[in-house]
Structure 1
Amino acid sequence: MDSGFVDCHCHISAQEFEEDLEDVIQRTKEAGVKTLVAVTEGVGEFERVLQLQERYPDLVAPCFGVHPLQVDGGLEQRSVKPQIGLDFTPWCAPSQQDKDDQLDVFIKQLSIAQELQLPVNVHSRSAAKVTISTMRKQGISRALLHNFAGKPSVALEGVKAGYLFSFPPAVCRNQQRDKLIQQIPLEHICLETDSPALGLEKHVRNEPRNITLCCQHIADLKGVSPETVKVVTAENAYRLFPKVSRR
């Protein structure tokens, strides 16, 4: 059976896809994508993702969480108060209190995942070391660190803990990430698009079909065939997300 691609982190419920969703889905399938792990940024998206799963049951797999940055009232983004993960960039978490708020929510979401025996799909930005150490302290054994950009030494701590790392098409234009990808074993790598963001070109809408680009780039860096990357990363994804059926 053709393993197909698994897009482990995709915002298919985003407004950017509403007008031509059918065409996007058609192109996704034609590119050989078998599963879209549909992530959320806020509670308001949960229902939309469930509707998409009902509409495309053989493709869409819901993945619910709350992003560490939330729009609070106006247009300004602030650290979440009550997507799973941490974002410690200075303009998003200017104070220690902001970081503490995010950490509290992160730990609560990790606890829910533990209670429900579910894996976590984690946003980590400028917080790689804290993210991985927190997950290890909380006893998390199944985790995906999406669009990971931390140091190779920190990534290898995650590898030791059994965590997986995914990379979007944007890595093709970021040579700084090449060394990191080369050091992470293929058995710990998954593919993602993070569409509609993080495509090959900045400010151009990314789509799930572009998963082929990061597959080719990782294959080139690893010195293996794109088919090998497709098969191994899909196996990694299904191992991480056992509730997703292999269609």
Structure 2
Amino acid sequence: METGLVDCHCHISACEFAEDLEDVIKRTKKAGVQTLISVTEEASEFESVIQLFKSYPDLVAPCFGIHPIQRCGSEKYSSVKIEDLEPALPLFRKYRHDLVAMGEIGLDFTPWYAPTSQEREEQLTVFTKQLEISKELNLPVNIHSRSAAKVTIATLKEQGITCALLHNFAGKLSIALEGVQAGYFFSFPPAVCRNNQRAKLIKQIPLENICLETDSPALGPEKYVRNEPKNILLVCEYIAQLKGITTQMVVNATTENALRLFPKIKKIDSHN
């Protein structure tokens, strides 16, 4: 393949990759992936992503973001609070020149994570604050939206956000098309190949608004099996099949889309 692939949303700093990262990277490159846009969920991950960027400057593109759901113990999660954002604030500015986007940020109104209106309001406050910082730093945003698609897209539009990726989008088609109208992009992980729930959405969203992602180590082609960036090829083939076009057309279009959405990765790609 002449054009390299861009994994627009993955967690390459996750502990699941700690044991064999070098092998994962080799397989990633062998699959034709030229850039890994590596997102974070908590401030404690920021330095790890920067270290990976320093170790693999021709591959890893760092993002910083505070996710709407925070880990609060080995098996426990809770809705984000404003104090979860505070340690991140100086780091956004410290590393502003290295970051290619703000992410993973957004809203997650899943009932068991955010059962009260107070929790949802606080999520919205944290999200809005990070959108303001993204504008200040002139960075696109890498968005998580679950059970909150309508509010997420409305908030992005209200805040005047023009460059956004809605990762693993599972909202209604009508809401997705509002996002398309606003110029937003949508990405889908290998897990979409396992069922047809997202097929209608992928068929209807124009190729000019689609990017590729793996969300590794989660959302792979097999349930409960660690996902890797090399699996991005599966999504590529699936999108091509649904749209009745060649895989190479999907590769070319999605890489071009990623370069438009995340212009700072051009510097990384020039090393390849």
C-alpha deviations, 1:76-104, integer Å up to 9, x for none? 21111013100011111111111111000
Match of 1:40, SS state, is coil
Give the AA of the match of 2:38: A
Cα deviation digits, residues 131-179 of structure 1 (max 9, x gap): 0000000000000000000011000000000000000000001201000
Q: Are 1:241 and 2:262 counterparts?
A: yes
TM-score (normalizing by structure 2): 0.89
- Partners of 1:173 and 1:91 lie apart in 2 by 25
TM-score, length-normalised on structure 1? 0.98
Farther-moved stretch of structure 1 (91-100 vs 25-34) = 91-100
Which residue matches 1:6?
6
Unaligned runs of 5+ in 1: none
Matching residue of 2:96: none
1:36 aligns with 2:36: yes
Q: Return the alpha-carbon distance in structure 1 between the equivalents of residues 175 and 57 of structure 2.
A: 37
Q: Which residue of 1 aligns with 2:116?
A: 95
Map of 1:198 onto structure 2: 219
Deviation at 1:15, TM superposition (A): 0.2
Q: Distance in 1 between matches of 2:81 and 2:36?
A: 29
Aligned residue identity for 1:60: V
Question: The residue matched to 1:176 in structure 2 has which SS?
Answer: coil
Residues 27 and 73 of structure 1: CA distance in aligned 2, closer, same or farther (over 3 Å): closer
Aligned counterparts of 2:248 and 2:205: Cα–Cα separation in 1? 18
- Counterparts in 2 of 1:12-91, with a 5 A limit? 12-72=12-72, 75-82=75-82, 83-91=104-112
Q: Distance in 2 between matches of 1:73 and 1:156?
A: 38
Structure 2 residue 157 is matched with structure 1 residue 120: no
Alpha-carbon distance in structure 2 between the residues aligned to 1:89 and 1:73: 19
Q: Match for residue 161 of structure 1?
A: 182
Question: Tell me, what secondary structure is at the counterpart of 1:7?
Answer: strand
Cα distance in 2 for partners of 1:174, 1:79 equals: 29
Task: Tell me what 1:220 maps to.
Answer: 241
1:194 Cα deviation (Å)? Answer: 0.1
The 2-side partners of 1:30 and 1:73 are apart by: 36
Q: Does the alignment pair 1:152 with 2:176?
A: no
TM-aligned CA deviation for residue 74 of structure 1? 6.7
Measure the CA separation in 2 of the matches of 1:3 and 1:242.
16
Structure 2, unmatched stretches of 5+, are: 83-103
Q: Which amino acid aligns with 2:245?
A: V
Looking at structure 2, the residues matched to 75 and 58 of structure 1 have their Cα atoms a distance apart, in angstroms, of: 35
1:172 aligned residue: 193
> Matched residue pairs, number?
247
Using the alignment, how far apart are the partners of 2:186 and 2:74 within structure 1? 33
Counterpart of 2:54, as a letter, is E
**RMSD of the TM alignment (CA)?**
1.1
Which secondary structure does the structure 2 equivalent of 1:67 belong to?
A: coil
Q: Hey, what does 2:94 align to over in structure 1?
A: none
Q: Which one-letter code corresponds to 2:66 in the other structure? A: V
Percent of pairs identical after alignment?
A: 68
Runs of 4+ residues deviating >6 angstroms? none
The answer for the alignment partner of 1:134 in structure 2 is 155
Match of 2:87 in 1: none
Cα shift at 1:2: 2.5
The whole-number CA distance in structure 2 between the counterparts of 1:207 and 1:43 is 23
